[in-house]
Structure 1
Amino acid sequence: MVKGLSEHDYQQITDFYNQRFQEKGHDIASVGWRDKASQWLRFDMLFRDYNPKGKVILDVGCGFGDLYAFLTQQCGDDFHYIGIDISSELINEAKKKYNQTNADFFVGDLFSIADFTQKDIDYAVESGMLSFKLENNDEYAKQIMDEMFTLSKEGVALNFLTDQVDYQLEKNHHYAMQDVLLWARALSSDFALFHDYPLWEFTVKIMKRR
Structure 2
Amino acid sequence: MLLNDISKEQIVNAHKDRFKQYGYSPKSLFWDKNRQNIRFDVLTSNYDFSNKKILDIGCGFGDLNNILSLKADRYIYMGIDIVEDFIAYAQDKFKNEENISFKLGDFLSEKFIANYDYIIASGTFNYKLKNMDNYDYIEAIINKSFNTCNSGIAFDFLSDKVDYKYDFNFYYSPEKILSIAYKYSKNIVLRNDYMPFEFSLFINKDDSFKKEYPIFNEYRHSHSIYKKEMY
TM-score norm. by structure 1 comes to 0.93
Alpha-carbon distance between aligned partners in 2 of 1:84 and 1:75, rounded to the nearest angstrom:
20
**CA contact under 8 A between 2:44 and 2:68: conserved in structure 1?**
no
**CA contact under 8 A between 1:193 and 1:204: conserved in structure 2?**
yes
Aligned to 1:60: 57
Letter in 2 for 1:88: E
Mind listing any 5+ residue stretches in structure 2 that lack a counterpart?
Answer: 209-231
**CA contact under 8 A between 2:157 and 2:171: conserved in structure 1?**
yes
Aligned to 1:9: 7
Identity %: 34
**CA contact under 8 A between 2:187 and 2:203: conserved in structure 1?**
yes
TM-score norm. by structure 2 comes to 0.85
Q: CA RMSD in A?
A: 1.3
Alpha-carbon distance between aligned partners in 2 of 1:198 and 1:11, rounded to the nearest angstrom:
30
* Aligned length, in residue pairs: 204
Which has the higher relative contact order, 1 or 2, with Cα contacts under 8 A spaced 6 or more apart?
1
Mind listing any 5+ residue stretches in structure 1 that lack a counterpart?
Answer: none
Aligned to 1:149: 146
Question: Post-superposition, which runs of at least 4 consecutive aligned residues in structure 1 deviate over 6 A?
Answer: none
**CA contact under 8 A between 2:3 and 2:108: conserved in structure 1?**
no
1:50-129 correspondence runs (5 A)? 50-76=47-73, 78-99=74-95, 100-114=97-111, 118-129=113-124
**CA contact under 8 A between 1:68 and 1:98: conserved in structure 2?**
no
Alpha-carbon distance between aligned partners in 1 of 2:110 and 2:153, rounded to the nearest angstrom:
16
**CA contact under 8 A between 2:37 and 2:67: conserved in structure 1?**
yes
Q: Mean alpha-carbon deviation: is it higher for 86-95 or for 142-151? A: 142-151
Tell me which protein shows more helix as a share of its residues. Answer: 1
Letter in 1 for 2:107: L
Letter in 2 for 1:131: N
